[in-house]
Structure formats: structure tokens, C-alpha cells
């Protein structure tokens, strides 16, 4: 497998806080990678670094053989990095279809083609029922899917999903997980950040990276990573240790 | 050579005196726009109201403007609280668009209303103090009303600064400026504090109007130039910084005065706006502030 | 825009062109000219202020550049009138690029303030540069139409409105239009979809500036004589923005509705209330902000959507 995205010793500070601290890892083509870590572990900052919303203080990011460092957000999108926002950012006054068309316009000028592409993506995400509704007033679960749909419509090679299952009821989260599992069908590698929905992680992830206070503390297959003591200690906490021990 | 130095010094001193009034206008705007984030395009119109209030008291009751300006402040405070509660409150959470449009409307109503009531004529009051000039050495002459208003302004500015930094109200104000939601959770009455600070901001600009009356022509559109100038002052001083606005007001006065001396009066405003654009594009946190725009 | 709607719009503009056949008083034609001119200016403003959501209060800069471009390029530099008009538009476009580079990096009220400051610098410079502009004494403007000027000015203003309307209609349903609206709703989302927000906004401003400059030239030529304050002053900027917002910012026909209402209303106010007309104007603005925040067309469209949803 070849690496699509490479991070080498990437760091980002906010004042005295090291939000991302010397992080290195790869994302391979056709892979679904989960970044696991509690709130404040640095997941969103990492996504903002990869998509050019923030410049890194140190380190190098490469995407498809190109150095990403210093690119602006719209260039990252054009190179093939799609993203969702943890705090959903729909175009509130536009319909669901128009929201997704915006992503589809990345590769076509034609309104008809953008519409067709958007409908295709919305069908995949099982959102046909709300296609003409304005984005404001939709429930959170639908808005999270809308984020994915918009990103997927840009034809990304890599899609960054920031907490797309957070705050969803379990049934909804598992249904979404099944869809995430099928993302490679679209020729997309996926990196998903999650806080704690381990059921989803175990089900979908090919590989897991664990972040703790900006540092990468473990990397590997999901079943393997959750057994490591440092992960249990840092992330799952003492309670989990008691149960297993 | 020496004569040039003296005239430069005279210009700097004149600028300081004018600048102190700019500082007062700017501090009012810093409260309203910098701290409360209300985009107030009627600021100059309210200043003009302060001038007319002082003028009416002088004209009908013979009240000295250096006492009358306090009454003008009271009037403007009441108008400020009332117009916040009746009008501005309803757009406080809405877009800047709506705030700008609403305050433009208010500004039109005020200046046209005043014009209907008093006519478009120019007025100038005459008090004995206007003829008093103070000579420092042989080269420097300062007009007494300007010195008096300078002294009053300094006292007011220091008082206002202390009030905002020390008082309970001031703390509530700054808490709201940082995080409106958190402030309301802490039991601060957000709406009341905003109404009072709008009133306070207008009181400041009303006082400035009253103090300007003896040394300025009075006409219904006199406020127009002060609206933009007060935005310039707030941006130069750094958003949310009341002391920054005070310093920026004085600095602007000096810059205008020096521009007038060397390039001519007509370029003073151009320099104001050019400076404003320069600061916005190069140092959006302002010359004297630390908060980001 | 569907074929049917395009046909309706074309028919509407055609009818507007017929109006002067029934009206022959210069006064009435000049009021109609003003209505059409401000509809065009409002439409041009709407690309930036409505669709892209960037509140410009400095469009007087482009208007004034167009107004001064005509006499300066024609009389002073000897360019033929059509060339002078085009050069005026070119200078306005250049000004738009400069102001856009500075102002689009700013958000919210700072953008509006920067546009005002820019227009004010131009106005004050025009007042001070006597040798070029004649300062407050003013400058003579060449006549665009020698025979039957009132009718021809009205027709030109309607043509300019039709041009601005067609441009807006094309933009609104294109990728460019979607990008503008995305920037208005959420700039981060637009960026994440690969939209170069800075360029997109600049392009909108450039189109808007060129159309506004043309409007300025028409206005100047009607009066044959201009001074800085009325063509570069903040009142012009405000009027353009208010026309569009009253009618409905970000809607296709909003600025036309706004201009018809506001310009006829202020003409009536001038006749009926005389000195109080600005007061009434101010009250009108306050009422719109409080009760019709999305403008007339926006609010009516909202009612329509809601009644249909029920």
C-alpha cells in the first residue's frame, strides 16, 4: 500500500498550549483510519493543519507526493482533501441539495452535472427524503450526514471526518458507521476523528491512531490498540482497567 | 528655522487640545462599538444633539456651556437608554447590516428633525471666555476655552476609565464584551448593562458636543464628520480598548493639526482615512490595543 | 432562470422602454430616469452586498469614478465618448481591485468602514485636486445625447438596468453565484469546497464596480456639470445600499422593487413634506429594519414559502 497522506513531526502551539505535539503518521490509499482521543486531544487542530485552515509551527505534511505545508484551504480541497466540520457549518438558507451541489461544483461548471452528482451522493447517504428542505431546522444527525455529503461531492481522494458520530444515538451512529465502511467504494480514503464511540471504531476502522494531549501515543489495528496499557491508562481511564483487571 | 519650530510646537499643542475632544467622542464610541459591538452610525448625530441641548440651555436660560454640557450629558444618557430599549435592542443580536441600517435611519431622523426644529442656520455663541488668550512666552498662544475643555476632558476621561475598570457595572460590561453567554450565566443582566453602556457612550459624546459648542459652528449636519472620525479613533486605539481610544483621539488631533500646518487644512481628513486604511490592512489590532479585530 | 421568466423579464423591460411615448414632461422623465438608474445601481451593488454578503458602503467611489471619467478622459485627454466611458469603467475596476485587496481581508463592520474610508479619500481628493477636477467649483460634463436628452437618458438607464439584471440572473444560477452565496452563508464551508473566497469576492466587486461606473457617467452627463460631494459622497453610497436592502438583498428583483418604492417615495416626500422628507426617509428605514429585515421581496418570498409548506 502507498501512503496518500504523510505527517512528519507536525506541531502546533496556541500560546503556551501544545495542541499538536510532534505527530507523525501515514494514511494509506483505500484505508479508513480513526483518530481516537478525548475532547482537546488535538483532533480538530490536526484536521485544520491538514486542510490548510491553520499553518503548522513545525513539521511537514505531504499529500499524494506533494508538500502541503503552506497551502490555503481552498487549494487543499482542490488537491482532493474533503472535510467536515465538528461544529456543523451548513449553508442555512440553502436546501440540502444546494448544499451538496456546492461541493460538486469543484469539478464541474454545469449546474445540471452538479445536481446529478449531488443527488448521487445524497442517495448513497440515504438522504433523499430531505433533499429539498432548507438546512436550517434539520436535526443534528441529518446535518452531520449533510457535512459528509458535501465533502464527498467534491470527489476527494481523502476525506476528513471530524466527530461525525459524536452526539448521535447509538442506532444512528451504527447506521452511519456502515456507510463510512463503504467509503472506499467511492475511491476515498477516510480519516475520522472520534472521541469515544468505540463500537463504531471497532467495526469500521482498518487502523487506529490514539492522540492524548496533542501527542500520538499508539498506532495499530483497532483490536490491538485497545489492549495496550498506555492507551487504557491515558484514554479509557482507570475505570476500564478495573473491569479488565 | 526657529520660527518654524515654534509654529510646529503651536500646531502640536492645538492638536492636543482638539484631540482631547476627539478622545471623548472616541471613548463613547469605544464603549458602544468597541465593547458592546453595536455599529453606531448615528454617533455624530448624537453629538450634534449634545451641542444643540447645550445651545438651547445657553440661548433660553443663559446657562454657561461649561455647566450646560453636564445637562447635555444627562439628556443624551436618557436618550441613549431609551433608544437602546426601543430600537437597538431589537438588532443587537442581528447582523451588522441591520445595525448599520438602523443607526443610519436614526441619524437621518435626528439631523433632519433638528433641521426642521431649528432651521439649517449656523449658530455660534459668544461668551467672554472666548476672548481670553493665554500667552506662553512670545511664540505660543492658547485660547482659553480650549484649555478649559481640555482640562475637563482629561478629568472626564480618567473618571470614565476608572469607572469602567473599577466599578461593578464596569466589570459586568467587560464580562459581556468577552462572552455574552457566560456573562448571563453569571447572573449579569445583559440587556440592562447594554442599555446603560449605550447611554453612557452617548453621555460621553453629548458632553463632547457641549464642550465643542463654544469653539465650533453649530448646524444640523455638524455631526456627520464625527461619526467616521470616531470609528477611525476606535480602530486606531484597538477594539474594546477605552484608554486606547483616548490616546488615539489625542494622536489624531495632533496628526490633523500638523497636516493642516504643512499640507493645508483640506488634507487633514484625507490623512485620517488613509491612516485608517493603513492600520486596518497592516495592524488590525490597532496602534495602541492588543485585541484582534 | 427559466425560459418563460426570461421572456417575462424581457417583455417587462420592453414595456419600460415604451413609457416615454406617453410621458413628455422633462420632470417626470427625470424622476423615471432616477428610478431606473438606482435600480441598476442597486442590482450592481447586490452582487457584492446581497449575494456575497459583503456590506459595501463605498460604492460612491465607483460611481464618482465613472462620473469624473467621462469629462476627464473626453475633454481633458481627448478620448472619444465611448472610449471615455470604457476607460472610466477600467479605472473603477482597478479601484475595485485595490479596495478589495485591503477590505476583503476584514470581516463584518470593518469591511463596511474600509469601503467608506476609501470613498471618502477619493471624495476629499477630488475636492482638493483643483487642477484636475476643478475642486468644489466643479467640472463640465459632455452631453451623451444631443437631441431629446430626457428620453434618451431614461432609455439608457433602463438599458443599464436590463444589463445589470441579466448579469445578476446569469450569476445567480451559475457556479459563481452559488460560490458567492456560500461565502455569504459560511466562508469556511466555501473554502472547504475548494472555493477561492478572496478571488470570488473580488470578481463580484469588479463586475459591480464596472456597472456602477457606467451609472455614474450617465448621471453626470444628465446634469452636464458635477462637483465632488453629490457624486462621491456617502449619501450616494447609502442610497445605493438602501435601495437594494429595502427591496431585498440577495434577491433578483429586490433592487428594482426597492428603487421604484424609494425613489418615487422620496420624490413624493420632497413635494409633500418638503423639508421633512429626509425625516420620513429615516423613519422608513427604521421601520424596514424592524419589520421587514429581509427586505420587501425577501419577506414576501418567505411568506410564500411558508404558506406553500403548510
Q: Which has the higher per-residue pLDDT, A235 or A64?
A: A64
User: C118 to chain B: which residues are within 8 Å by CB?
Assistant: 273, 277
pLDDT at A213: 87
Which ranges of A61-139 does DSSP label H, i.e. alpha helix? 73-79, 96-104, 111-124
Q: Which residue of A has its CA nearest to C199?
A: A74
User: Which is more confident, B98 or C159?
Assistant: C159
- Chain A nearest-CA distance from C144, in A, is 39
What value does the mean pLDDT take over residues A108-135?
Answer: 92
Q: Measured between CB atoms, which of A74, A89, A151 is closest to C197?
A: A74
Residues in Cβ contact with C40 at an 8 Å cutoff, skipping those fewer than 6 apart:
C157, C160, C161, C163, C164, C211, C215
SS3 of residue C226 by DSSP: strand
Least confident among B55-59, B97-101, B126-130, C28-32: B126-130
DSSP string, B15-78: HHHHHHHHHHHHHHHIIIIIIT----TTHHHHHHHHHHHHHHHHHHH---HHHHHHHHHHHHHH
pLDDT in tens, A9-63: 999 998 888 899 999 999 998 888 989 888 778 889 999 999 999 999 999 999 9
For residues C72 and C220, the answer to whether their CB atoms sit within 8 Å is no
Q: Tell if the CB–CB gap between B102 and C281 is shorter than 8 Å.
A: no
Q: Which residues, 6+ apart, have CB-to-CB distance to B152 below 8 Å?
A: B66, B69, B211
Cβ contact, residue pair C289, B235, below 8 Å:
no
- pLDDT tens over chain C, length 310 residues: 578 888 888 888 888 888 877 777 888 899 999 999 999 999 999 999 999 999 999 999 999 999 999 999 998 899 999 999 999 999 999 999 999 988 888 877 888 889 999 999 999 999 999 888 988 899 999 999 988 888 899 999 999 999 999 999 999 989 999 999 999 999 999 999 999 999 999 999 999 999 999 999 999 999 999 999 999 998 899 999 989 988 999 999 999 999 999 898 888 888 877 777 778 778 888 988 888 888 889 888 888 877 876 6
> Distance between CA atoms of A115 and A56, rounded to whole angstroms?
36
- Secondary structure (3-state) at A158: strand
Res C53: pLDDT: 92
Chain C contacts of A155, Cβ < 8 Å?
A: none
Cα-Cα end-to-end distance for chain B: 43
How high is the mean pLDDT of chain A? Answer: 87
- Mean pLDDT for B61-71 is 91
Quote the Cα angle for B287-B289-B292, to 5°. Answer: 100
d(CA A95, CA C181): 12
Comparing C170 with A170, the larger pLDDT belongs to: C170
Choice among A138-152, A195-209, B9-23, C36-50 with the minimum mean pLDDT: A195-209
Q: Which residue of B has its CA nearest to C249?
A: B97
The Cα of A17 is separated from the nearest Cα of chain C by a number of Å equal to 24
* Residue C186 to residue A89, Cβ atoms within 8 A: yes
Cα distance from C168 to chain A (closest Cα, Å)?
16
| pLDDT surpasses 50 at B263 | yes
| C225 DSSP β-pair partners | C140
Name the helix (H) or strand (E) containing C58. none
DSSP string, C20-49: HHH---HHHHHHHHHHHHHHHHHHHHHIII
Cα–Cα distance measured from residue C183 to residue C163, given in angstroms and rounded to the nearest whole number: 24
Answer yes or no: do A102 and C173 touch at CB < 8 A: no
* Among the partner residues B91, B104, B293, nearest to C110 by beta-carbon distance: B293
* Chain C nearest CA to A111, separation (Å): 7
Estimate the share of chain B in helix, then strand, then coil, as percent rounded to the nearest 5: 75, 5, 20
Q: Which residue of C has its CA nearest to A72?
A: C191
| Distance, CA of A197 to CA of A220 (rounded, Å) | 17
What are B266-269's contacts with CB under 8 Å, separation 24+?
B266/C124, B266/C127, B266/C128, B267/C124, B267/C128, B269/B225, B269/C120, B269/C124
pLDDT at residue B291 tops 50: no
**C-alpha–C-alpha distance, residues C170 and B3, integer Å:** 65
**pLDDT value, residue C71:** 95
Query: Using CB atoms, which residue from B33, B235, B274 is nearest to C121?
Result: B274
Per-residue confidence at B293, pLDDT binned at 50, 70, 90?
very low
Task: Find how far residue B44's CA is from the centre of its chain.
Answer: 8
Out of C179, C185, C191, whose CB is closest to A73? C191
pLDDT of residue A48: 93
The DSSP line for C78-98 is: ---HHHHHHHHHHHHHHHHHH
Instruction: Tell me the backbone φ, ψ of residue A59, rounded to 5 degrees.
Output: 95, 170
Report chain A residues whose CB lies below 8 A from the CB of C188: 53, 73, 85, 89
Q: Say if residues C174 and C259 touch (Cβ distance below 8 Å).
A: no
**ipTM for the predicted complex:** 0.90
Flag whether residue C38 sits within 8 Å of chain B, measured between CB atoms: no
Percent of chain B topping pLDDT 90 = 34
pLDDT digits (tens, 9 = 90+) for B156-166: 888 888 888 88
The three grid cell numbers given for residue B96, joined into one nine-digit string: 451588522
* Contact between chains at A154 and C193 (C-beta distance less than 8 A): yes
Amino acid at each position: 500500500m502507498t501512503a496518500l497522506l504523510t505527517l512528519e513531526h507536525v506541531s502546533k502551539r496556541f500560546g503556551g498550549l501544545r495542541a499538536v505535539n510532534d505527530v507523525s503518521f501515514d494514511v494509506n490509499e483505500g484505508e479508513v483510519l480513526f483518530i481516537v482521543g478525548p475532547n482537546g486531544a488535538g483532533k480538530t487542530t490536526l484536521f485544520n493543519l491538514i486542510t490548510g485552515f491553520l499553518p503548522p509551527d513545525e513539521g511537514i505534511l505531504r499529500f499524494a507526493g506533494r508538500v502541503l505545508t503552506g497551502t490555503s484551504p481552498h487549494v487543499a480541497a482542490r488537491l482532493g482533501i474533503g472535510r467536515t466540520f465538528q461544529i456543523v457549518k451548513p449553508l442555512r438558507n440553502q436546501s440540502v441539495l444546494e448544499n451538496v451541489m456546492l461541493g460538486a461544483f469543484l469539478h464541474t461548471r454545469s449546474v445540471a452535472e452538479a445536481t446529478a452528482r449531488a443527488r448521487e451522493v445524497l442517495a448513497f447517504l440515504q438522504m433523499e427524503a430531505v433533499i429539498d428542505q432548507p438546512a436550517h431546522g434539520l436535526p443534528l444527525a441529518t446535518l452531520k450526514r449533510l457535512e459528509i455529503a458535501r465533502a464527498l461531492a467534491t470527489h476527494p481522494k481523502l476525506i476528513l471526518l471530524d466527530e461525525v458520530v459524536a452526539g448521535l444515538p447509538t442506532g444512528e451512529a451504527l447506521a452511519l458507521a456502515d456507510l463510512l465502511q463503504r467509503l472506499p467504494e467511492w475511491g476515498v480514503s477516510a480519516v475520522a476523528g472520534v472521541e469515544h464511540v468505540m463500537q463504531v471504531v471497532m467495526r469500521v476502522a482498518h487502523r487506529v491512531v490514539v492522540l492524548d494531549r496533542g501527542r500520538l501515543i499508539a498506532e495499530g489495528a483497532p483490536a490491538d490498540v485497545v489492549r495496550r496499557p498506555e492507551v487504557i491508562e491515558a484514554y479509557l481511564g482507570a475505570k476500564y482497567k478495573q473491569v479488565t483487571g | 528655522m526657529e520660527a518654524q519650530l515654534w509654529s510646529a510646537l503651536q500646531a502640536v499643542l492645538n492638536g492636543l487640545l482638539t484631540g482631547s475632544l476627539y478622545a471623548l467622542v472616541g471613548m463613547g464610541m469605544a464603549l458602544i462599538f468597541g465593547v458592546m459591538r453595536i455599529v453606531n452610525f448615528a454617533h455624530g448625530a448624537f453629538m450634534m444633539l449634545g451641542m444643540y441641548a447645550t445651545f438651547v440651555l445657553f440661548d433660553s436660560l443663559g446657562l454657561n456651556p461649561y455647566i450646560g454640557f453636564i445637562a447635555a450629558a444627562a439628556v443624551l444618557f436618557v436618550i441613549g437608554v431609551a433608544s437602546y430599549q426601543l430600537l437597538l435592542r431589537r438588532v443587537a443580536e442581528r447582523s451588522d447590516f441591520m445595525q448599520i441600517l438602523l443607526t443610519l435611519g436614526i441619524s437621518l431622523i435626528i439631523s433632519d428633525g433638528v433641521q426642521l426644529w431649528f432651521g439649517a442656520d449656523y449658530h455660534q455663541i459668544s461668551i467672554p471666555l472666548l476672548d481670553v488668550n493665554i500667552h506662553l512666552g512670545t511664540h505660543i498662544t492658547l485660547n482659553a476655552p480650549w484649555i478649559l475643555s481640555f482640562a475637563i476632558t482629561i478629568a472626564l476621561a480618567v473618571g470614565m476609565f476608572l469607572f469602567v475598570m473599577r466599578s461593578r457595572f464596569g466589570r459586568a460590561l467587560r464580562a459581556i464584551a468577552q462572552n455574552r453567554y457566560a456573562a448571563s450565566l453569571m447572573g449579569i443582566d445583559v440587556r440592562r448593562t447594554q442599555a446603560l453602556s449605550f447611554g453612557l457612550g452617548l453621555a460621553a459624546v453629548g458632553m463632547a458636543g457641549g464642550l465643542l459648542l463654544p469653539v465650533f459652528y453649530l448646524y444640523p449636519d455638524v455631526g456627520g464628520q464625527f461619526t467616521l472620525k470616531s470609528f477611525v479613533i476606535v480602530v486606531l486605539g484597538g477594539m474594546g480598548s477605552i484608554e486606547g481610544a483616548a490616546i488615539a483621539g489625542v494622536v489624531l488631533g495632533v496628526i490633523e493639526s500638523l497636516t493642516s500646518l504643512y499640507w493645508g487644512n483640506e488634507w487633514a481628513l484625507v490623512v485620517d482615512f488613509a491612516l485608517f486604511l493603513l492600520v486596518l490592512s497592516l495592524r488590525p489590532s490597532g496602534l495602541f490595543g492588543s485585541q484582534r479585530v | 432562470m427559466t425560459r418563460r421568466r426570461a421572456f417575462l423579464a424581457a417583455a417587462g423591460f420592453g414595456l419600460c422602454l415604451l413609457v416615454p411615448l406617453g410621458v413628455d414632461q422633462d420632470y417626470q422623465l427625470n424622476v423615471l430616469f432616477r428610478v431606473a438608474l438606482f435600480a441598476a445601481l442597486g442590482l450592481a451593488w447586490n452582487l457584492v452586498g446581497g449575494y456575497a454578503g459583503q456590506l459595501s458602503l463605498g460604492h460612491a467611489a465607483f460611481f464618482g469614478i465613472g462620473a469624473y471619467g467621462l469629462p476627464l478622459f473626453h475633454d481633458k485627454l481627448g478620448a472619444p465618448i465611448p472610449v471615455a466611458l470604457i476607460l472610466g469603467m477600467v479605472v473603477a475596476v482597478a479601484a475595485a481591485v485595490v479596495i478589495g485587496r485591503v477590505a476583503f481581508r476584514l470581516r463584518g463592520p470593518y469591511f463596511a468602514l474600509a469601503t467608506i474610508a476609501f470613498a471618502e479619500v477619493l471624495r476629499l481628493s477630488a475636492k482638493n485636486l483643483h487642477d484636475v477636477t476643478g475642486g468644489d467649483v466643479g467640472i463640465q460634463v459632455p452631453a451623451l445625447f444631443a437631441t431629446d436628452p430626457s428620453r434618451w437618458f431614461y432609455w439608457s438607464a433602463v438599458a443599464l438596468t436590463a444589463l445589470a439584471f441579466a448579469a445578476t440572473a446569469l450569476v445567480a444560477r451559475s457556479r459563481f453565484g452559488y460560490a458567492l452565496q456560500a461565502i455569504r452563508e459560511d466562508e469556511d464551508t466555501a473554502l472547504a469546497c475548494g472555493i477561492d473566497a478572496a478571488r470570488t469576492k473580488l470578481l463580484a466587486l469588479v463586475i459591480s464596480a464596472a456597472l456602477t461606473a457606467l451609472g455614474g457617467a450617465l448621471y453626470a452627463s444628465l446634469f452636464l456639470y458635477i462637483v465632488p460631494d453629490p457624486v462621491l459622497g456617502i449619501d450616494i453610497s447609502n442610497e445605493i445600499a438602501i435601495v437594494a436592502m429595502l427591496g431585498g438583498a440577495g434577491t433578483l428583483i429586490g433592487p428594482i422593487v426597492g428603487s421604484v418604492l424609494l425613489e418615487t417615495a422620496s420624490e413624493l416626500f420632497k413635494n409633500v413634506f418638503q423639508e421633512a422628507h429626509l425625516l420620513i426617509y429615516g423613519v422608513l428605514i427604521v421601520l424596514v429594519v424592524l419589520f421587514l429585515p429581509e427586505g420587501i421581496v425577501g419577506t414576501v418570498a418567505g411568506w410564500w414559502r411558508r404558506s406553500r409548506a403548510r
